[in-house]
Structure 1
Amino acid sequence: MRRIAKTASEKHGTIVVRRAPAKKSRAILQFGTLRIPAAIGRSGTTALKREGDGATPIASMRVLHGFWRGDRMLGLTTALPMQRIRSGMLWCDAPESPSYNQLVRTPFKASHEEMRRSDGLYDVCLVLDWNITSRRRNRGSAIFFHLIRPGYEPTAGCVAVKARDMMRLLPLLRRGSRLRVA
């Protein structure tokens, strides 16, 4: 019997995110046999993502790299390239800025998000390739895979899970892994 080469998704893994039936901002994340509850955008999912719409884009997105709070999260195990979050790190969410949907540093006047958050959402934050390698104004920014608020509160368009679930997934992820919102 001839062995068929594994596809990229089999080699590197694909996380599949499907909306939960009861609430548009809740989802079930599946990676292999692992099934994890998650939160998604307050507006549910959309195929026509726009800046500020509160929806999670329906797409297959590469996991590019990540950030973590070294003062809060110790002992991360992952093959993904990870950068420690430092004071002054921001993410530009201003469509009119040449730095739109990119990491920037203080001082920065255009609209942005703090990466070093006090609420812990970005203690582990994976950057998804939504509107990054091919950026277009107003198509959405800062679409991350990050930690969740208590009670599975909706996100602004990201995918979020509990810290213990993120720690279970991190060792399984590497360059080439994908997150597919169905």
Structure 2
Amino acid sequence: MKTAILQARGDGNGLLSFQREQFVVSIGAGGIRADKQEGDHATPAGLLPLRHVLYRADRVLKPRTALSCAPIAPNDGWCDDPTYADYNKAVTLPYPGRHESLWRDDHSYDLIAVLGWNDSPPERGRGSAIFLHLPTQSGVTEGCIALPEPQLRHLLAEELTAIDIQGA
């Protein structure tokens, strides 16, 4: 298992250490929390495995990775509504419950590694859609981890398998 360590830096960012490298990353605006809840804008503490990779084939090349990898389609979404049975799962849009679209106008979801948070099985209200993705314009995330595309591609090519998120 190839694991990276993520620690909060105290300035709203995190430091991701992998092998002998370190990367400054964006984390949730709510910091790192052991008691992650839906909508708290926090990045959850714990050991989160990388499940699979999604990418916008119309914008970026398929990444080199040992993980399963699939293109994102315009009707792909993710349910973040704890009142629905599909909570914290990929869904097809249109979808009646609260959700986010994976096909975004900005570029933050052009390349996504889906992290294994609250998914085996999902516990309603504990948080959903924790991704390793590209930076947002605001510089913070809603709980995900964001880093520039070259660094994300490097981690995927080096077969990163999990992130140990510390500092809650």
Is TM (by shorter chain) over 0.5?
yes
CA positional deviation for 1:140:
0.1
CA positional deviation for 1:76:
1.6
Residues 1:38 and 2:25 are matched in the alignment: yes
In structure 2, the partner of 1:4 is none
Instruction: Tell me how far apart the structure 1 counterparts of residues 43 and 131 of structure 2 sit (CA, whole Å).
Output: 10
CA positional deviation for 1:134:
2.0
In structure 2, the partner of 1:99 is 86
CA positional deviation for 1:75:
4.6
| Match of residue 85, structure 1, among 65, 72, 83 | 72
Residues 1:142 and 2:126 are matched in the alignment: no
| Match of residue 162, structure 1, among 118, 130, 148 | 148
Residues 1:64 and 2:51 are matched in the alignment: yes
Q: Secondary structure at the match of 2:156?
A: helix
Q: 1:75 to 1:112 in 2, by over 3 A?
A: closer
Instruction: Tell me how far apart the structure 2 counterparts of residues 99 and 51 of structure 1 sit (CA, whole Å).
Output: 14
Q: Could you tell me which runs of 5 or more consecutive residues in structure 1 were left unpaired when the two chains were aligned.
A: 1-11
Q: TM-score, structure 2 length as denominator?
A: 0.95
Residue 77 of structure 2 aligns to which amino acid in structure 1?
L
Instruction: Tell me how far apart the structure 2 counterparts of residues 98 and 150 of structure 1 sit (CA, whole Å).
Output: 32
Residues 1:116 and 2:103 are matched in the alignment: yes
Residues 1:17 and 2:6 are matched in the alignment: yes
CA positional deviation for 1:144:
0.7
Which has the greater radius of gyration?
Answer: 1
Instruction: Tell me how far apart the structure 2 counterparts of residues 16 and 144 of structure 1 sit (CA, whole Å).
Output: 15
Higher helix share: 1
Q: Secondary structure at the match of 1:18?
A: strand
1:119-152 CA distance string (max 9 Å, x none): 111111111110111211000000111111247x
Q: TM-score, structure 1 length as denominator?
A: 0.88
Q: Could you tell me which runs of 5 or more consecutive residues in structure 2 were left unpaired when the two chains were aligned.
A: none
Runs of 4+ in 1 over 2 A off after TM superposition: none
Identity %: 34
In the TM superposition, 1:122-133 aligns within 5 A as 122-133=109-120
Q: 1:134 to 1:80 in 2, by over 3 A?
A: same
* Matched length: 166
Q: Secondary structure at the match of 1:52?
A: coil
Q: Secondary structure at the match of 2:112?
A: strand
1:35-60 CA distance string (max 9 Å, x none): 11100000101010000000001110
Contact map agreement 2:55 2:62 (CA 8 A) in 1:
no
Q: Secondary structure at the match of 2:152?
A: helix
